[in-house]
């Protein structure tokens, strides 16, 4: 009875240390995480940003929930978000790799621990190798997830919030109090790492003493008797505690002590990989179709990976062999595990992100706004354009000095299609019209003319300016107002927008680009 209490105590300390490390890193790095995500549109950079942020925060649940919120707000597009989610799936595996390093004092245990800790890494890396090119060239995941979302789900009224602490054992309250009391990310991280490695050593000793052949057989029978049973337990436990970090990390000492073989633990790890998608799905369930789409893309990524690398015999053993190969390498070189950790999760992604830092150009746009009977006022738009990408983001600030962020607008250009937030403009010939519908109702959007060169203001000149006219319909009759958009096709900028009464042509609202400055 006393030994069982010690065992449970060791497990509780292990979980506490793991959760404290995650909370500490989130406390240290979450402020920059959203800014980094918003800075990307290049799919390759997005992939490694997702990996790096999740490695820093040590929680794919937090990263994917953050991405769901950004997609829902329109801050990033679904196409930009999918590579980040892929990277987050790789980044979340760092925790089990860190746990495996706690067995470095014993060579053979260290070899098995590294193999168990890195299997999840190689599974996700190989899934990225297969799915990333399909997404990059054909929009496979984003297109499929959009289809599923629009077919089976409708728009929801609100966003669900959530606390993503891994266990409902009162650890969240205790850890939040500790984080507030210490309020120093580095001290918290050092404390959590010390507790984590200490608990691993203690946990390892308790496993050796308590789990003999008889109890080992009971454990195998309960959780790992068959692949289907192991997969189900991995999925259910991870969905219940909303963290694959815990479930996959707990497998590492079991494999290290030869209580469970790696091949028997693989279905459990894959079940955990699918179960962790529940958090992002819950965060999106009562939100927009775009937010639901990215959550579905997360589910599809994991399920397709399981289908390929577990059910296809030719591919099934590849991640196992890679993980066992790295484990064998650690027998010869103890530092191999540390080098793998640093290179895969930090050095390579950080280097690629750093070398792509100049791929974003920034312009500060000042717009003049006019309403009848009021004085003119101004607002600022920070426009970010990405090299070799037809994508930009507008950060709209109230006031001309970037005072208060009001909203973020994504602008996507592909050939002759220009998408500004939810408004689609087809850059066609004058006289071209199309019907559409938005939250205001049905409308007809027509191209009135194309101006080759236009001096917008003394400070601003634009080429290839398309003038669009939008008229809403009330039943069979047109609305009494019209909206005009002046859009530069060469720079993907909205130069002027005005709303007028059709009968009198009197102005109801106008905003116009006043000045433009390169940053």
| Secondary structure in 3-state letters for 106-158 | CHHHHHHHHHHHHHHHHHHHHHHHHHHHHHHHHCHHHHHHHHHHHHHCCCCCC
Domains in the chain: ranges and CATH: 34-162+222-355 (no CATH), 359-518 (2.50.20)
Q: Identify the CA nearest to 80 among candidates 90, 69, 88, 71.
A: 71
Please list the residues that pair with 517 across neighbouring strands: 364
The series of mean pLDDT values per 10 residues for the chain, 519 residues long, is: 63 64 54 50 77 74 70 70 90 85 83 92 94 88 87 52 42 70 71 66 55 48 80 84 75 86 91 81 63 86 94 92 91 86 86 69 87 87 71 74 63 86 88 86 91 87 93 70 92 91 88 86
Q: Identify the CA nearest to 185 among candidates 34, 397, 23, 345.
A: 23
pLDDT at 242: 63
State both tokens at 261.
């073989």
Burial bucket for residue 301 (CB in 10 Å: 0-12, 13-18, 19+): buried
User: How far is it, in rounded angstroms, from Cα 86 to Cα 44?
Assistant: 11
pLDDT at 118: 93
pLDDT at 209: 53
pLDDT at 162: 39
Q: How big is the CA angle at 10 (ends 5 and 15), to the nearest 5 degrees?
A: 125
Element (H, E) at 227: helix 227-241
Length of the chain counted residue by residue: 519
pLDDT at 386: 65
User: How far is it, in rounded angstroms, from Cα 337 to Cα 115?
Assistant: 10
User: How far is it, in rounded angstroms, from Cα 433 to Cα 159?
Assistant: 36
State both tokens at 112.
């098995």
pLDDT at 212: 44
Q: Which backbone phi and psi does 240 adopt, to 5 degrees? A: -70, -45
pLDDT at 220: 57
pLDDT at 164: 38
> For 93, what's the count of Cα atoms within 13 Å in the CB-facing half-sphere?
26
pLDDT at 411: 83
Q: In which order are the strands placed within the sheet that holds 477-488?
A: 423-426, 417-420, 404-414, 391-398, 377-386, 360-370, 507-518, 493-501, 477-488, 460-474, 441-457, 433-438
- Can you list the positions of beta strands (E) in 427-459? 433-438, 441-457
User: How far is it, in rounded angstroms, from Cα 420 to Cα 119?
Assistant: 42
User: How far is it, in rounded angstroms, from Cα 442 to Cα 471?
Assistant: 9
Cα distance between the two ends of the chain: 68
Output 199-205 pairs: Cβ under 8 A, ≥24 positions apart: 199/10, 199/13, 199/14, 199/16, 199/17, 200/14, 200/99, 200/102, 200/103, 200/253, 201/102, 201/105, 202/10, 202/13, 203/10, 203/11, 203/14, 203/253, 204/102, 204/103, 204/109, 204/253, 204/256, 204/257
Place of tokens 């003999």: 212
Alpha-helix runs per DSSP H in 276-423? 278-284, 289-309, 313-316, 318-332, 336-342, 348-355
User: How far is it, in rounded angstroms, from Cα 53 to Cα 46?
Assistant: 10
pLDDT at 141: 92
């Amino acid at each position: 009875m006393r030994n069982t209490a010690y065992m449970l105590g060791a497990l509780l300390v292990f979980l506490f240390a793991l959760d404290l490390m995650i909370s500490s890193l989130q406390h240290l790095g979450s402020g920059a995480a959203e800014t980094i995500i918003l800075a990307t549109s290049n799919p390759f950079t997005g992939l490694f940003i997702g990996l790096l942020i999740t490695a820093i925060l040590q929680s794919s649940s937090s990263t994917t929930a953050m991405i769901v919120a950004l997609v829902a707000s329109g801050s990033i597009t679904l196409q930009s978000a999918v590579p980040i989610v892929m990277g987050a799936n790789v980044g979340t595996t760092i925790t089990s790799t860190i746990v495996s390093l706690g067995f470095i004092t014993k060579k053979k245990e260290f070899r098995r621990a590294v193999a168990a800790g890195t299997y999840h890494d190689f599974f996700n890396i190989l899934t990225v190798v297969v799915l990333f090119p399909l997404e990059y060239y054909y929009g496979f995941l984003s297109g499929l997830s959009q289809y599923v979302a629009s077919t089976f789900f409708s728009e929801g009224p609100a966003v669900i919030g959530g606390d993503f602490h891994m266990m409902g054992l009162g650890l969240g309250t205790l850890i939040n109090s500790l984080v507030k009391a210490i309020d120093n990310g580095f001290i918290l991280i050092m404390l959590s790492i010390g507790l984590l490695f200490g608990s691993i050593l203690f946990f390892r000793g308790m496993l050796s003493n308590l789990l003999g052949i008889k109890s080992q057989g009971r454990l195998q029978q309960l959780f790992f008797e068959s692949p289907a049973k192991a997969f189900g337990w991995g999925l259910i436990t991870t969905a219940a505690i909303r963290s694959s970090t815990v479930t996959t990390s707990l497998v590492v000492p079991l494999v290290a002590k030869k209580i469970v073989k790696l091949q028997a633990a693989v279905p459990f790890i894959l079940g955990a990989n699918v179960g962790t998608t529940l958090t992002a799905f819950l965060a999106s369930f009562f939100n927009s179709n775009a937010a639901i789409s990215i959550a579905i893309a997360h589910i599809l990524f994991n399920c397709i990976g399981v289908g390929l690398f577990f059910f296809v015999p030719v591919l099934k053993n590849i991640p196992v062999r890679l993980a066992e190969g790295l484990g064998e390498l650690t027998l010869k070189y103890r530092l191999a595990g540390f080098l793998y950790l640093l290179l895969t999760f930090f050095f390579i992604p950080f280097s690629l992100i750093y070398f792509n830092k100049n791929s974003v150009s920034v312009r500060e746009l000042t717009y003049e706004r006019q309403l009848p009977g009021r004085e003119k006022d101004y607002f600022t738009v920070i426009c970010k354009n990405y090299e070799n990408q037809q994508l930009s983001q507008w950060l709209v600030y109230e006031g001309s000095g970037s005072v208060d962020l009001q909203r973020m607008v994504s602008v996507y250009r592909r050939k002759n299609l220009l998408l500004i937030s939810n408004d689609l403009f087809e850059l066609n010939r004058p006289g071209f019209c199309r019907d559409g519908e938005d939250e205001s109702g049905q409308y007809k959007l027509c191209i009135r003319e194309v101006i080759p060169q236009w001096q917008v203001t003394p400070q601003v000149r634009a080429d290839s300016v398309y003038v669009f006219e939008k008229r809403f319909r009330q039943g069979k009759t047109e609305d009494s107002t019209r909206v005009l958009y002046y859009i530069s096709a060469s720079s993907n900028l909205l130069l002027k927008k005005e709303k007028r009464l059709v009968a009198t042509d009197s102005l109801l609202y106008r905003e116009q680009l006043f000045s433009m400055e390169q940053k």
